[in-house]
Amino acid sequence: MKISRLLATAALATYLFSASASADRVVLHGKNRLNRPSKETASLIVNLDTSFRTVTHKSEADGLQDIVKLISESEYEEEWLYLPDMKTWYEIGRNETSVRHGTHIEGSLISDPSGLEDILGKQKTFTFYHFHPIDKEGTYNFVHELWLNQGSRLGEKNREPFYSKMAYLFAVHGGVPSPGDIRKMSRLKIANYKKSKIDVRFKVVSVLGTFEYSLTKKGLEKFKNVNTDPNFNKELEQYSSRIPKLLEPKNFDLLGWLATTDYKPFIEKMASGLSSEYILIKYEPLRK
Ligand SMILES: [Zn+2]
């Protein structure tokens, strides 16, 4: 899975921490700060140029359609903040890297919202959105192997539907939040629990919808410092071990998936299978 590094975490936590307290304490510290000028783009793009950030004015649903295209077109991850009151997307990812490991792409980036402090401080809510690029060739090889091992029993006329539905399945699976995503979200949520009135959300975009990841109230109260708390590390280990198990035959109704066009119940089951009393994963289909 992809691990997103967050070098600017402390700075962002400082910001989110102080945003609701008093505006004049809103400061991003550190040498990682990069106050990039904005450049307006008509669509959401993956921007590898650190000299500017992109800003796009469009609805959440339209922006998500842009991101779905990027999932299969881009080798790199990208991250944005979506501000619903302004219907605006700000790119915050920078220093993106991408490494291929067999059947998947491992990406990393720095989340850097510096320069957006004043705007963010005025919001009631905003959402961190990112996506995980698909290694098309890796997915194809995986599905081809599955066909040889299991699918071919379905008969030659089912070959194409099998390939396309399984490719979807793996694309959705690749869109579940990584352990690194959970850690970064938890760090920010815990730092700002009870301290900020801004409702900050975290979502990964997949080809069939979004996965929102958060901590339950119990999780917010249980974990203290996600870098040093052994309880949190144990919880994260358990979360990691649940990801590959999602597609095991005993947990996944393969024939049901192949027979249906309504994927929602399957993906909701995946999301609830990833959740615990502390970590909550919620699936939401894309709106057309
Ligand atoms: Zn991620």
Look at residue 153 in the predicted model and tell me its pLDDT.
Answer: 85
Q: State which H helix or E strand residue 284 sits in.
A: strand 279-285
Q: pLDDT tens across 209-251, in order?
A: 999 999 999 999 999 888 899 999 999 999 999 998 888 878 8
Residue that is written with structure tokens 């994927």 in the block: 263
What distance in angstroms lies between residue 220's CA and the mean position of ligand 1's atoms?
21
Identify the segments of the chain with pLDDT beneath 50. Answer: 1-30
How far does residue 1's CA lie from ligand 1's centre (Å)? 8
- Ligand 1 centroid–CA 79 distance in Å is 9
CA of 124 to the centre of ligand 1 (A): 24
Residue count (the chain):
288
Which residues are bridge partners to 202 per DSSP? 128
Tell me which residue has tokens 């947990």. Answer: 251
Separation of 42 CA from ligand 1 center, angstroms?
A: 24
How far apart are the CA of 171 and the centre of ligand 1, in A? 13
The pLDDT assigned to 201 comes to 96
**Other CB atoms within 10 Å distance of the CB of residue 30:** 12
Q: What is the Å distance from ligand 1's center to 179 Cα?
A: 8
pTM, entire model? 0.87
How close is the Cα of 268 to the center of ligand 1, in Å?
19
* pLDDT the model gives residue 4: 27
- Cα separation of 82 and 146, whole Å? 38
CA 98 – ligand 1 centroid, Å:
12
pLDDT of amino acid 31: 53
What tens digit of pLDDT does each residue of 121-149 get? Answer: 899 999 999 999 988 888 888 888 888 88
Task: Supply 246's token pair.
Answer: 């999602």
Ligand 1 centre distance from Cα of residue 243 (Å): 13
- Please check whether residue 182 is in contact with residue 214, taking contact to mean a CB–CB distance below 8 angstroms: no
pLDDT value, residue 91: 96
**What are the residues facing 110 on neighbouring strands?**
94
User: Measured in angstroms, how far is the CA atom of residue 181 from the centroid of ligand 1?
Assistant: 5
In the block, residue with structure tokens 């649940």: 242
